[in-house]
């Protein structure tokens, strides 16, 4: 195993650190990215292992123990974050709600990512008529107010987890398309692309192995932005009663359900609100950090 | 605790002051004799024959008068626009009208007004919203200027009750000219309050009728009533804290409990005739639904813990109801009803017997009290009935229901505060467009009960209808509502158990 043998000190000075070592150093030196990743990691863990972590069944109603306050407001440890207006354990609903938020964020960002990237890369690579059509479609999409269209569609089709995911996925591709188109335009005339074409590589091969890897850092940033965007929109739709339907635990729905008692029991709104804020912040920190550590201009 | 709330209230007051100044909302109070009230729902039309909401009933009682009035305290019928009445035969009522009454626009009240109003509303094609209120009348006939006869289609003993409730008298010349839409925008009646302005969906301003006749409703005391539509109860409470509202009603139990702890407000709780129930599509109007199976309907009845709902959610003067009518109503025989105790095991067993061992999924529609609907949903989910929840506006749900597209819905009915079982059970079980059961036997009994003049026959047949309806579990009746009235200590008001806000009996402390 030649690669793991310690290098001669002189040789290492000449070779400098490997790209992997440099990347690790940049990641570890980026506090925002680390913080975001840890928080996101914890939330992901919580979402995946929700059935093991939740102290109670999030659907178990107990009308006799309604709206018990959280521990820090004088409640007891049976319900660390209190109970909601139907006596369901708040902590358990928060934990299960993480699943809904992350699932919606990830799947909606994936759907819109596939649509937007396909459109953007084709427009940037082929140019001409393809570019004209895609640009037109992007403009059409940008002219539509997302929340309004989502509200209308959900109102017609009825709210459910699947409908919300699909609607958001089909609405949030514009940023992918714009960014991917611009990034493709930047790299399509680079030497390595020309070289790949010169040796006779097919178009799909040029796009997949020459263009995509070089614009992937931008893609990752947009993915995180749109994921956060989708999570917030789901919360907004659920708050308005048009998103995920009860009794599914969703943070937006929890805010909505707590709203009636907002003047007297503000914690019912504050707790899910804070968790939502933390999740979106963590995703944005990760996206921001990834951009910093992968951007070519920072590689020197 | 109290001081922090007072501070909070002051902070809110500042914000709201700025907000109301910006929107130009009227700033009034006891000093300039204006009572400010909030309505939660928008009215479709102020014309009381063309809306079906509680807010409409409140305005109707303030702006118009009926021939008769039922004293809410003693339940005694007193003459209002009529001074006396008698049954000429089983289907003819003769009234002597009060003389010297004028409408708000100056038109004198006489027999022509009664004849025009009755003939207009009784005609089905004129489209009065709640046909039950008027479709028992055939026509009216003038005997002389102050004597009038109302002819009934068939015997209808609840006539007096309806005439003292939803049937109010309109000015013939004005109504002929403007119709229901004009009446909705510029209402004219004989009532204790005149309508000064109507901004549809937003605001109604009423002014005391200083020349109000000597009515059993009493003379109005407060000069002006300013009603605004504020759909969100938190906003209503914030305005109450900041002093831009004097009275709010229909306040949910949880919030009312908290408001009662504050010294500045009076909270009064009264029961209402409103009954909350689940209706199931037993006739299969919405297609192939499990609810056509009696065992499924009984399972639904067994799945719901009514006592817990009343004790923990509705609170106050609410009670468990197992009849398809409010127990105080004449003919609403509680003993005749089959009661279904809370028994989720039995519910599961019934579902399994009906061929749904793993339950099924159904749409559940609701239009009010989302929290109650969620609690009910939770009970249903617990026995395996999974729900696809649809929360709609009342008018939208009513339309769907009329078209027979609703398999399961959480509905409520307030009977227009009519203290007779016909106002509820006959409204829903006589094969009308809202009848999900379409049971011929029930129809036969209700027809006898509705048209008999003998109280014993009526009670006996209502009892039979109730027995059949509850045995067949067409509905799952659950609870009666209560209403919390919250007002500042400047206001003096004793609410009545019929859910009608009476501005006439309100005064300043």
Contact B374 A246 (CB under 8 A): yes
Alpha helices (H) in B202-288, listed in sequence order: 233-242, 253-260
Homologous superfamily of domain range B63-176? Dipeptide-binding Protein; Domain 1 (3.90.76.10)
**Nearby residues of A74 by Cβ (< 8 Å), 6 or more positions away:** none
pLDDT band at A5 (very low <50, low <70, confident <90, very high): low
- The pLDDT of A169-180, averaged and rounded, is 93
Contact B237 A160 (CB under 8 A): no
Cα of A47 to nearest chain B Cα, Å: 23
pLDDT band at A9 (very low <50, low <70, confident <90, very high): low
Least confident of B4-8, B105-109, B191-195, B400-404: B4-8
Nearest CA in chain B to A161: B388
Buried b (16+ CB within 10 A) or exposed e, B311-345: ebbbbbebbbbbbbbbbebbbbbeebbbebebbbe
Cα of A49 to nearest chain B Cα, Å: 23
B309 contact residues in A (CB cutoff 8 A): 63
Residue in B234, B312, B388 nearest the CB of A66: B312
Q: How many residues does chain A have?
A: 300
Q: Is the pLDDT of residue B372 over 70?
A: yes
- The pLDDT of A205-218, averaged and rounded, is 88
Better pLDDT: B41 or A282: A282
Q: Is the pLDDT of residue B27 over 80?
A: no
Cα of B255 to nearest chain A Cα, Å: 7
The pLDDT score that the predictor gives to residue B26 is 42
CA distance B112 to B150: 12
Homologous superfamily of domain range B10-48+180-271+483-508? Periplasmic binding protein-like II (3.40.190.10)
Listed residue (A158, A153, A285, A143) closest to A227, CA to CA: A285
Residue with tokens 């009661």: B339
Residue in B305, B371, B379 nearest the CB of A85: B371
CATH number of this structure's domain A48-298, picked from the four choices 1.10.645.10, 1.10.3720.10, 3.40.50.2000, 1.10.10.1150: 1.10.3720.10
**Nearby residues of A89 by Cβ (< 8 Å), 6 or more positions away:** A54, A55, A56, A57, A58, A60, A79, A81, A83
The pLDDT score that the predictor gives to residue A294 is 77
pLDDT band at B345 (very low <50, low <70, confident <90, very high): very high
Give yes or no for A259 touching B (CB within 8 A): yes
Over residues A68-120, the pLDDT tens digits come to 889 898 888 889 999 988 989 999 999 999 999 999 999 999 999 999 999 99
- The pLDDT of B79-101, averaged and rounded, is 94
Cβ contacts below 8 Å, chain A against chain B, sum to 61
B interface test, pick of A57, A61, A240, A268 with most B CB neighbours within 10 Å: A61
The pLDDT score that the predictor gives to residue A227 is 93
In the stretch 166-195 of chain A, residues with CB closer than 8 A to chain B read none
The full set of domain ranges for chain A reads 48-298
- The pLDDT of A9-20, averaged and rounded, is 70
Better pLDDT: B304 or A162: B304
- What's CA B337's distance to the chain center, in Å? 23
Answer positive or negative: Cα dihedral of B456, B462, B468, B472: negative
Alpha carbon dihedral B147, B153, B155, B160, in 10-degree steps, equals -50
Over residues B145-160, the pLDDT tens digits come to 999 999 999 888 889 9
Phi and psi dihedrals of A190, rounded to 5? -65, 160
CA distance B30 to B10: 19
Cα of A271 to nearest chain B Cα, Å: 19
Contact B377 A85 (CB under 8 A): no
**Token pair in block for residue A28:** 């570890």
Cα of B237 to nearest chain A Cα, Å: 8
pLDDT band at A12 (very low <50, low <70, confident <90, very high): low
Residue with tokens 């996101």: A40
Residue with tokens 């009343």: B310
Contact B378 A259 (CB under 8 A): no
pLDDT band at A13 (very low <50, low <70, confident <90, very high): low
In the stretch 260-279 of chain A, residues with CB closer than 8 A to chain B read 260-264
The pLDDT score that the predictor gives to residue A300 is 43
Give yes or no for A162 touching B (CB within 8 A): no
Residue in A64, A85, A247 nearest the CB of B377: A247
Answer positive or negative: Cα dihedral of A58, A61, A66, A68: negative
The pLDDT score that the predictor gives to residue B347 is 95
- The share of chain B scoring above pLDDT 90, in percent, equals 71
**Token pair in block for residue B60:** 């109707």
The pLDDT score that the predictor gives to residue A137 is 94
Over residues A135-150, the pLDDT tens digits come to 999 999 999 888 888 8
The full set of domain ranges for chain B reads 10-48+180-271+483-508, 63-176, 272-482
Least confident of A169-173, A181-185, A259-263, B315-319: A259-263
The pLDDT score that the predictor gives to residue B7 is 47
Answer for the pair A113, A226: CB distance below 8 angstroms, yes or no: yes
Q: Is the pLDDT of residue B242 over 50?
A: yes
Answer positive or negative: Cα dihedral of B431, B434, B437, B441: negative
CATH, range B272-482? 3.10.105.10
- The pLDDT of A233-246, averaged and rounded, is 86
- The pLDDT of A203-215, averaged and rounded, is 89
Q: Which helix (H) or strand (E) holds B54?
A: helix B54-63
Contact B371 A259 (CB under 8 A): no
Contact A261 B254 (CB under 8 A): yes
Cα of A232 to nearest chain B Cα, Å: 22
Over residues B287-297, the pLDDT tens digits come to 889 999 999 99
The pLDDT score that the predictor gives to residue B37 is 95
CA distance B318 to B305: 14
Give yes or no for A47 touching B (CB within 8 A): no
């Amino acid at each position: 195993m030649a690669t793991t043998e310690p290098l001669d000190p002189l040789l290492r000075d000449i070779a400098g650190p490997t790209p992997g070592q440099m990347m690790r150093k940049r990641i570890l030196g980026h506090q925002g990215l680390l913080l975001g990743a840890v928080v996101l990691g914890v939330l992901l863990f919580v979402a995946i292992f929700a059935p093991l972590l939740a102290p109670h069944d999030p659907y178990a109603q107990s009308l006799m123990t309604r709206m018990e306050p959280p521990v820090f407001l004088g409640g007891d440890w049976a319900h660390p974050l209190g109970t909601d207006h139907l006596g369901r354990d708040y902590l358990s609903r928060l934990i299960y709600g993480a699943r809904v938020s992350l699932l919606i964020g990830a799947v909606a960002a994936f759907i819109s990512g596939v649509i937007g990237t396909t459109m953007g890369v084709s427009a940037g690579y082929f140019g001409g008529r393809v570019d004209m059509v895609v640009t037109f479609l992007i403009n059409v999409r940008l002219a539509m107010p997302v929340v309004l269209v989502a509200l209308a569609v959900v109102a017609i089709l009825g709210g459910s987890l699947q409908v919300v995911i699909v609607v958001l996925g089909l609405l949030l591709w514009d940023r992918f398309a714009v960014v991917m188109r611009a990034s493709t335009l930047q790299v399509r005339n680079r030497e390595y692309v020309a070289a790949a074409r010169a040796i006779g590589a097919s178009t799909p091969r040029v796009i997949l192995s020459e263009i995509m890897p070089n614009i992937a850092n931008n893609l990752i940033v947009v993915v995180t932005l749109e994921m956060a965007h989708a999570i917030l929109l789901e919360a907004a739709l659920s708050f308005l009663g048009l998103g995920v339907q009860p009794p599914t635990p969703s943070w937006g729905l929890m805010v909505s359900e707590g709203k009636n008692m907002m003047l007297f029991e503000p914690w019912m709104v504050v707790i899910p609100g804070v968790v939502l804020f933390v999740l979106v912040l963590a995703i944005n920190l990760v996206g921001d950090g990834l951009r910093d550590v992968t951007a070519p201009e920072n590689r020197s | 605790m109290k001081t922090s709330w007072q501070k909070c209230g002051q902070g809110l007051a500042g914000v709201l002051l700025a907000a109301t100044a910006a929107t130009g909302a009227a700033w009034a109070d006891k000093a300039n004799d204006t009572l400010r009230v909030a309505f939660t729902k928008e009215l479709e039309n102020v014309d009381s024959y063309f809306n079906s909401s509680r807010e409409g009933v409140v305005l109707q009682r303030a702006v118009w008068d009926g021939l008769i009035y039922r004293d809410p305290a003693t339940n005694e019928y007193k003459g209002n626009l009529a001074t006396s009445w008698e049954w000429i035969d089983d289907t003819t009522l003769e009234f002597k009208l009060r003389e010297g009454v004028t409408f708000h626009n100056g038109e004198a009240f006489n027999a022509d007004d009664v004849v025009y109003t009755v003939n207009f509303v009784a005609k089905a094609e004129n489209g009065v919203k709640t046909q039950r209120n008027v479709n028992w009348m055939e026509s009216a006939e003038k005997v002389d200027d102050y004597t009038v006869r109302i002819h009934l289609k068939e015997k209808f003993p609840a006539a007096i009750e309806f005439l003292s409730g939803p049937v109010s008298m309109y000015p013939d010349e004005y109504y002929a000219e403007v119709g229901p839409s004009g009446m909705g925008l510029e209402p004219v009646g004989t009532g204790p309050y005149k309508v000064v302005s109507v901004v549809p969906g937003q605001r109604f301003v009423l002014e005391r009728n200083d020349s109000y006749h000597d009515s059993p409703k009493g003379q109005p005391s407060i000069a002006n009533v300013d009603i605004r539509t504020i759909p969100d109860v938190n906003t209503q409470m914030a305005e109450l804290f900041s002093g831009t509202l004097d009275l709010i009603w229909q306040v949910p139990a949880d919030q009312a409990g908290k408001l009662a702890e504050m010294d500045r407000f009076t909270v009064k709780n009264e029961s209402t005739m409103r009954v909350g129930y689940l209706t199931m599509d037993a006739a299969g109007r919405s297609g192939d639904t499990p609810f056509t199976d009696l065992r499924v309907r009984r399972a639904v009845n067994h799945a719901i813990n009514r006592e817990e709902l009343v004790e923990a959610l509705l609170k106050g003067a609410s009670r468990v109801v197992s009849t398809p009518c409010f127990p105080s109503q004449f003919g609403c025989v509680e003993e005749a009803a089959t009661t279904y105790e809370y028994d989720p095991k039995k519910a599961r067993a019934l579902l399994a017997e009906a061929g749904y061992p793993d339950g099924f999924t159904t749409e559940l529609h609701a239009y009010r009290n989302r929290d109650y609907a969620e609690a009910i949903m939770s009970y249903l989910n617990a026995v395996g009935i999974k729900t696809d929840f649809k929360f709609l506006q009342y008018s939208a749900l009513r339309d769907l229901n009329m078209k027979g597209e609703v398999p399961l819905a959480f509905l409520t009915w307030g009977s227009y505060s009519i203290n007779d079982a016909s106002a509820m059970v006959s409204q829903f079980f006589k094969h009308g467009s809202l009848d999900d059961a379409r049971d011929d036997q029930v129809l036969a009994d209700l027809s006898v009960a509705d048209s008999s003049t003998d109280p014993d026959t009526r009670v006996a047949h209502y009892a039979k209808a109730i027995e059949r309806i509850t045995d067949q579990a067409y509905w799952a009746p659950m609870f009666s509502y209560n209403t919390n009235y919250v007002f500042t200590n400047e206001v003096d008001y004793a609410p009545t158990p019929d859910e009608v806000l009476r501005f006439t009996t309100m005064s300043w402390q």
